[in-house]
C-alpha cells in the first residue's frame, strides 16, 4: 500500500473558467505549460518531457469549466491529480485548486514543482 498523502495547492487566476479549463483538459492546452508534448487517445493522455519516455494518465472524471481528474497509469489505485476551478463568493475571483499525491517527505518539492508549472501557465494566460 502506498504511503503517499493527498495535498492541495491554491492559485488565484485572472481569466475565465472556460479559458482556464481548456489549458487543463486538452492536449493542446496542457502542452502549452504542463509538458513538452501531449497526445490523447481514447481518454488516455501521453505526456512527454525532454524527449523522454511518455508518462500516461487517463481521465477519471471531469465537468466542463469546473474540474478534471487524472490518474497516472503507473500510480496506485485511488491516487490522482486534479485541477479544480472555483470562484470566490465575494470577489468572484477564479481559483485553481490542484490536488495531488506525494510521499510526505516529497510534498514540499512537489509543491515547488507545481508552483513552477503554474507560473508557466500564468505566463501563457497573460497573468
Query: In the chain, pLDDT over 70 holds for what percent of residues?
Result: 98
pLDDT surpassing 70 at residue 119: yes
* DSSP letter (8 states) at residue 75: S
Q: How high does pLDDT run on average in the chain?
A: 94
Enumerate the domain spans of the chain. 5-125
Q: Give 63 or 127, the one with higher predicted confidence.
A: 63
Beta-sheet strands, E only, within 14-117: 37-41, 44-48, 55-63, 67-72, 81-87, 94-102
Residue keyed to cell 473558467: 17
Count how many Cα atoms sit within 13 Å of the Cα of residue 104 in the half-sphere of its side chain: 1
CATH architecture of the domain covering 5-125:
2-Layer Sandwich (3.30)
Band of pLDDT at residue 89, cut at 50, 70 and 90: confident
What is the average per-residue pLDDT within 84-110? Answer: 94
Residue 79 has pLDDT above 90, yes or no: yes
Q: What pLDDT does 1 receive?
A: 52
Global confidence as pTM = 0.92
Q: What is the mean pLDDT of residues 66-92?
A: 94
pLDDT tens digits for range 12-51: 999 999 999 999 999 999 999 999 999 999 989 999 999 8
Q: Residue 16 — φ and ψ, nearest 5°?
A: -75, 150
Question: pLDDT category, 2, cuts 50, 70, 90?
Answer: low
Distance CA 94, CA 122 (A): 13
C-alpha span between 16 and 49 (Å, rounded): 28
Q: Can you tell me which residue has the cell 493542446?
A: 28
Amino acid at each position: 500500500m502506498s504511503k503517499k498523502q493527498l495535498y492541495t495547492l491554491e492559485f488565484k487566476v485572472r481569466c475565465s473558467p472556460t479559458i482556464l479549463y481548456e489549458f487543463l483538459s486538452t492536449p493542446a492546452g496542457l502542452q502549452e505549460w504542463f509538458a513538452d508534448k501531449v497526445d490523447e487517445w481514447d481518454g488516455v493522455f501521453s505526456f512527454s518531457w525532454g524527449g523522454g519516455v511518455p508518462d500516461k494518465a487517463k481521465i477519471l472524471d471531469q465537468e466542463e469549466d469546473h474540474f478534471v481528474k487524472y490518474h497516472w497509469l503507473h500510480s496506485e489505485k485511488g491516487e490522482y491529480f486534479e485541477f479544480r476551478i472555483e470562484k470566490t463568493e465575494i470577489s468572484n475571483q477564479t481559483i485553481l485548486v490542484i490536488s495531488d499525491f506525494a510521499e510526505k517527505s516529497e510534498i514540499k518539492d512537489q509543491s515547488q514543482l507545481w508552483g513552477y508549472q503554474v507560473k508557466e501557465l500564468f505566463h501563457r494566460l497573460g497573468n
